[in-house]
Amino acid sequence: MDPIQRRDFLRGLGGSLLAGGAAWSALGGLAPLRAQDAKVTPEIVQLRGEMEAVARWIETTSRDQILSAAVDALRKGLPYRQLLGGLFLAGIRNIKPRPVGFKFHAVMVIESAHQLGLDAAQPDRLLPVFWALDNFKASQEADVREGDWALGPVKESAVPSPGEARQRFAEAMEQWDEEAADAAVAGLYRAAGSSEVAEVLFRYGARDWQNIGHKIIFTAHSFRTLHTIGWEHAEPVLRSLVFGLLNGGKASATAESAAPYASNLELASSVRKDWMAGKADPAATTALLGTLRQAKPDEAAREAALALKNGVSPSSIWDAVSLAAGELLIRQPGIVALHAMTASNSLHYAYQAASQDSTRLLVLLQACSWLCLFREGVRQRSGLPEGNRIDQLDADTSAEPPSLEAVFQDLTKDRALASRRLLAHASRATSLTPLFDTVRRLVFVKGTDSHDYKYASALFEEVSKASPAVRPRLVAAAAYQLRGASDRDSPLTEKSRQALARLGS
């Protein structure tokens, strides 16, 4: 994991953009690397197959030329999956994941950008990944200024055998031993399947709240992106992830941010075995929401466990978590409240992706405890005004409700009014697709920050997963974070559109 100087790495790159003959959307790969193209410095981790060439030109192309280079690659046959994968892996090996946030958002935002692009109209589908390309180049420049870190090759002599990898990895993570964990996770990747590796890392991602939940966000986004680009590219991703998860060292194990983990491990063992068989209970959701407004982290988890014991469905617990996250954004908009939603969304993903009930229960209890940490984090950073309870919001009852276009035109002028209008719209709409389409377009045109993409993606998922009665209130809370139509356009939007216009020429 030792850093190297990127200028030495770049001198050894050589090579050029390789091309295939198919259209950019074709599924075929690029031509094989020539021997002289494959010669790179040994101090940086090498990627598999075609991803090495793609990541290489992304890394070495200047920021002002990156969009043009991407268009050239797509026109010559580069598949979208390889563009996405090359960008993600270039970030993995070029940007230091410590702290897990700040410039490293260039890596964590890629999955959100991809998700938003999936449902976009055809002309807009590549806008988010083009934004992510530019964002990576900005973060790469910042990383150079801050020390020029890069992910080196794993120490092969320290990689445990397949039979020892699982135990050695667990021991290293429990001891916060970076060097041993780096080699052990490489061994674990080589010995186990993706589901088993994910199961283990979901737990460590949820182990502590340090960096306002970014460790579980990094974990979830890593596995989600790997599902798209291919598990065969996972080894450097897992090594970067583990390096990030061990940020803080042994001191993190006894910090307040890690305290809920040990207590929730014990608490989970006392919950009834059939806890997933409960029934939806809106009253239990309201009660737990009240608890999350004032309880300590361990108290919130105990109330959730008690609800499960009494036969309440886990979905009702998740409803309370989402509502509590949305309420923080209403009461005090800002970076900490925003991450209450994005971190809860990542925990929710881990809950749904995990195969073991024990992992699912643990991350559910952690989500409840973390909302209390987020609440106090907001209070300490910015203060936390009383009132504005999400379950008591009144919808705008105008005789002639404004159109979505009008709501978003005025959104940043009066967010409280926009919130009431969105509550009214979401309560009566037969489909939220037009609303999501509007939000998505505004992110593409107005978005300038990774959180524009991360929040919108998390919002769409949590609204879709929530019970029908909860969805309108999550939409209403979003008025305090979303971009408005009157916001200034991102300077990158027109540049991206001009570049993309060449694809059809």
With a cut of 70, list the residues of the chain below it in pLDDT. 1-42, 505
Looking at the fold, whether 268 and 247 belong to one and the same domain comes out as no
Asked if 362 contacts 268 with a C-beta cutoff of 8 angstroms, the reply is yes
In a domain? residue 387: no
Would 271 be classed as within a structural domain?
yes
Could you say which of 123, 145, 167 is where a domain stops?
145
151 domain-assigned:
no
Cβ neighbours around 274 below 10 Å, total: 10
Candidates 452, 431, 450, 426; CA nearest to 441 is: 452
Task: Please indicate, yes or no, whether residues 14 and 107 belong to a single structural domain of this protein.
Answer: yes
Which of 382, 412, 443 terminates a domain? The answer is 382
pLDDT score, position 505: 58
Helix (H, G, I), strand (E, B) or coil at 453: helix
Tell me: do 63 and 180 sit in the same domain. Answer: no
One domain for residues 59 and 40: yes
Considering the domain architecture, whether residues 261 and 240 belong to the same structural domain is answered as no
Q: Domain count of the chain? A: 4
195: which 2 tokens?
């589901």
Q: How far apart are CA 184 and CA 176, in angstroms?
A: 12
Considering the domain architecture, whether residues 167 and 141 belong to the same structural domain is answered as no
Question: Which tokens belong to 485?
Answer: 């139509």
Q: Based on the domain organization, do 13 and 139 belong to the same domain?
A: yes
Give yes or no: residues 217 and 289 share one domain: no
Residue 417 belongs to domain spanning: 401-491
Backbone angles phi, psi at 279, to 5 degrees: -110, 150
In 3D space, the residue among 500, 427, 458 whose CA is nearest the CA of residue 131 turns out to be 500
Specify if 1 maps to a domain. no
**Per the domain annotation, does 394 fall within a domain?**
no
**Which one-letter amino acid corresponds to residue 354?**
A
Q: 190, 225, 252: which is the final residue of a domain? A: 252
Burial of 365 (0-12, 13-18, 19+ CB in 10 A): buried
Give the separation between CA 262 and CA 364, rounded to whole angstroms: 14
CA 273 from chain centre, in angstroms, equals 31
pLDDT tens for each residue of 198-211? 999 999 999 999 99
DSSP 383: -
User: Does residue 72 lie within any of the structural domains?
Assistant: yes
- Residue 19 phi/psi, 5-degree rounding, is -135, 150
The torsion angle over the Cα atoms of residues 89, 124, 500 and 447, rounded to 10 degrees, is -70
For helices 433-446 and 127-145, give the axis angle rounded to 10 degrees. Answer: 40
Residue 373 lies in a domain: yes
- Tell me how far apart the alpha carbons of residues 421 and 400 are, in angstroms, rounded to a whole number: 11
CA 96, CA 175: separation in Å to the nearest integer? 22
pLDDT at 503: 87
Answer yes or no: do 175 and 240 share one domain.
yes
Together in a domain, 109 and 174: no
Taking residue 97's Cβ as centre, other Cβ atoms within 10 Å add up to 26
457 and 350 share one domain: no
Residues 244 and 358 in one domain: no
Cα separations (Å) of 162 from 177, 186, 192? 19, 10, 8
Write the Ramachandran bin of 311: left for phi over 0, alpha for psi from -120 to 50, otherwise beta. Answer: left
pTM of the model: 0.92
- Please report the pLDDT score of residue 42 as a whole number: 52
Q: Are 20 and 78 in contact (CB under 8 A)?
A: yes
Cα gap 127→116, rounded to integer Å: 10
Q: Tokens 């046959």 — which residue? A: 77
Question: H or E element: which one contains 423?
Answer: helix 415-428
d(CA 466, CA 282): 11
Give the C-alpha separation, 429 to 451, whole Å. Answer: 27
Domain contains 391: no
